[in-house]
């Protein structure tokens, strides 16, 4: 059983989802990719302690404080590969970015491989169930392209600006 509540953020409305003990998902109001969690019935439940913790965490984040991911009880399910990528995302420092290729090199090392596909990493990043807390917005293309984000590219830009990230060498991808 999953529970939900809403959170009004400077970037729009977010839905917080919990299994009753852990935060399992953050959903953007206008998501570029529907979440599999939406296939479940979500029961509105505002008073869960995990929601209070998450609201406090998000309030501090949007106030330019630097709350740590470890402050929240998180539960995310995915393949070993996805979970490895999500663990790496949590190591990207506030206000900094890492490329898909850099993450692919780290994943390859962890799995004892010579190479790993940056596209495969992009797929795992795109399936991150807990955006903002697990900072997938800090991942960019090797050339500085601000590619893909479940909450939309402009949300990604706003989050990076909020963190004081130097965007001078980055650009929005051109539409086809």
Q: What is the mean pLDDT of each run of 10 residues along the chain (176 residues)?
A: 94 95 92 56 86 98 97 94 97 97 96 94 95 97 90 95 96 79
Residue 102 has which token pair?
């850099």
Give residue 175's pLDDT. 72
- The structure's pTM equals 0.91
Catalytic residue numbers read 136
Domain segments of the chain as ranges = 2-71, 80-162
* Fold agreement (2-71, 80-162): no
Name the H helices within 66-152.
80-89, 100-110, 118-126
pLDDT confidence of residue 34: 52
Is the CATH number of domain 2-71 3.30.160.70? yes
| Model pLDDT, residue 33 | 52
Q: What is the CATH number of domain 80-162?
A: 1.10.10.10
Residues 6+ apart with CB under 8 A from 152: 28, 30, 32
pLDDT at res. 35: 55
Report the pLDDT value the prediction gives residue 38, as an integer from 0 to 100: 56
- d(Cα 166, Cα 161) in Å, to the nearest integer? 8
At 46 the pLDDT is 83
Residue 31's pLDDT is what?
57
Please give the pLDDT value at position 45: 85
């Amino acid at each position: 059983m999953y529970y939900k509540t809403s959170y009004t953020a400077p970037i729009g409305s977010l839905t917080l989802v919990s299994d009753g003990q852990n935060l399992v998902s953050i959903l953007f109001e206008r998501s570029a990719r529907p979440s599999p969690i939406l296939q479940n019935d979500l029961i509105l439940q505002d008073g869960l302690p995990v929601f209070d913790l998450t609201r406090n965490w998000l309030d501090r984040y949007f106030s330019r404080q630097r709350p740590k991911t470890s402050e929240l009880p998180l539960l995310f399910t995915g393949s070993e590969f996805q979970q490895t990528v999500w663990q790496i995302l949590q190591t990207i420092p506030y206000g900094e970015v890492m490329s898909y290729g850099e993450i692919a090199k780290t994943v390859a090392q962890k799995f004892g491989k010579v190479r790993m596909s940056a596209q495969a990493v992009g797929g795992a990043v795109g399936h991150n169930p807990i955006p903002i807390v697990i900072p997938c917005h800090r991942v960019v293309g090797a050339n500085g392209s601000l590619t893909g984000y479940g909450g939309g590219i402009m949300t990604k830009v706003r989050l990076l600006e909020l963190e004081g990230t130097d965007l001078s060498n980055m650009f929005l991808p051109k539409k086809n």
